[in-house]
Amino acid sequence: MYENDVLKCRQLLQRELGSDWENILKIAGTQDLRERCGKKLTSFMAFPERGEGGSNKWRGNCSPRVVQQVVEYALDVKKYQRQPLKEFTLLDPMSGSGTSKVVADKLGINSVLYDLNPSPSFGKGNWNALRDDVNDSADMIFFHPPYHGIIKYSGDMWGKPHPDDLSRCENWNDFIEKLNFVLKKLFFSLRKDGRMAVLVGDVRQNGKLFSMQHDMMKLGTLESFIVKGQFNCVSDSRTYAKPFIPVVTEYLLIYKKENSLIIPFTMVKHSVFEASKADSPALTWNHLIRMTMESVGGKAKLSDLNEMLKEHPKAKANRHYGERIRATIYEHKSDYINHGNGIYELSYMAA
């Protein structure tokens, strides 16, 4: 019954709205999220239709509407603060098909475009983000880097593979290290009170999630974190047997440069807590026993638990650690199944 209702609804919408009914519905459905308080830029973006500017044939291209909205916001701030707009400049260091140039011309502002591609649609070609200087300053930098190796640009979209192409980094750590270097270089070129908008996305490879917005360096003052819906992705037409959560969003982070010489920054530090060897006020005996049993398949003898945990800091600090292990299991009967003869099994791992 439900499927029939959906089919009738689709037929009705197509009859009333025409062949573009799906895009119309997407736009109407997000209207109250995309516009609030009389503002056209909110913390949520959705552009089912790309808009005019640049080329939609350029894989990974950005909608000109995204660029236009953040630039208009920066211009509005300048106007509100009664700052001059005559020399307002937009810098795009990975300009692709030239979307930023089209937006800048439409808004009547200066633009500077760089790209590693020797023959870009607009601007300066053969610009190496890792080796070349950023000789221009700007009030707004719009930075849309590759999403690691999801789309290979050099050797695929244009020319031959380039060793300094961020879409051809050896691994994720290499990519983030190089991305952070470029972010610093760009932020240093930003004018005081200027803004850098960085459009990034999450990457899923071989079942593992890599998050650009989480791992990359944050510079200056975070002014806004915008979630952007993704539409018309190549992966949308594929089917997958393995359970996973599809990535349907990108993130636009806007950073402000408030001080010319003092720049706050945040970097992600990855570390490991090895519960079998380290202690923490947050780690209880019950946590430790459960995790130890999980590591051996969910079932263990009491004597084996004593042996496995005798060198742990908790045991070192308690000469009666064996009694503590036995008492902990007794105190949490719902977590452990007693099979007799000193054998216990985790209730949630039992067959």
Question: Phi and psi (nearest 5°) for 34?
Answer: -80, -20
Q: Sign (positive/negative) of CA torsion 56, 57, 60, 61?
A: negative
At 136 the pLDDT is 96
Q: Which residues contact 48 (CB under 8 A, 6 or more apart)?
A: 22, 23, 26, 27, 231, 232
Partners of 300 in the beta sheet? 344
Domain annotation for the chain: domains and CATH numbers: 1-34 (no CATH), 40-266 (3.40.50.150), 285-349 (1.10.10)
In angstroms, rounded to a whole number, what is the distance separating the alpha carbons of residues 209 and 202?
7
At 336 the pLDDT is 96
Cα–Cα separations (whole angstroms), residue 118 to 125, 159, 179, 276, 314 = 4, 8, 21, 54, 62
Cα–Cα separations (whole angstroms), residue 218 to 80, 166, 183, 322 = 26, 18, 9, 48
DSSP string, 284-330: -HHHHHHHHHHHTTSEEEHHHHHHHHTTSHHHHT-TTHHHHHHHHHH
At 245 the pLDDT is 84
Query: What's CA 264's distance to the chain center, in Å?
Result: 21
Partners of 266 in the beta sheet? 218
Q: For the chain, how far is it from start to end, CA to CA, in angstroms?
A: 38
In angstroms, rounded to a whole number, what is the distance separating the alpha carbons of residues 226 and 153?
26
H helix and E strand count, the chain: 11, 13
User: How does pLDDT run along the chain (351 residues), one tens digit per residue?
Assistant: 466 776 777 777 677 667 776 666 566 666 676 777 788 889 998 886 766 766 667 777 788 999 999 999 999 999 999 999 999 999 999 999 899 999 999 999 999 999 999 999 899 999 999 999 999 999 999 999 999 998 999 999 999 999 999 999 999 999 999 999 999 999 999 999 999 999 999 998 888 999 999 999 999 999 999 999 876 655 555 667 778 888 888 999 999 999 999 999 999 998 999 999 999 999 999 999 999 999 999 999 999 999 999 999 999 999 999 999 999 999 999 999 999 999 999 999 987
In angstroms, rounded to a whole number, what is the distance separating the alpha carbons of residues 169 and 176?
9
Paired tokens of 306: 């004593």
Paired tokens of 11: 């037929």
**Most distant pair of Cα atoms in the chain: their distance:** 84
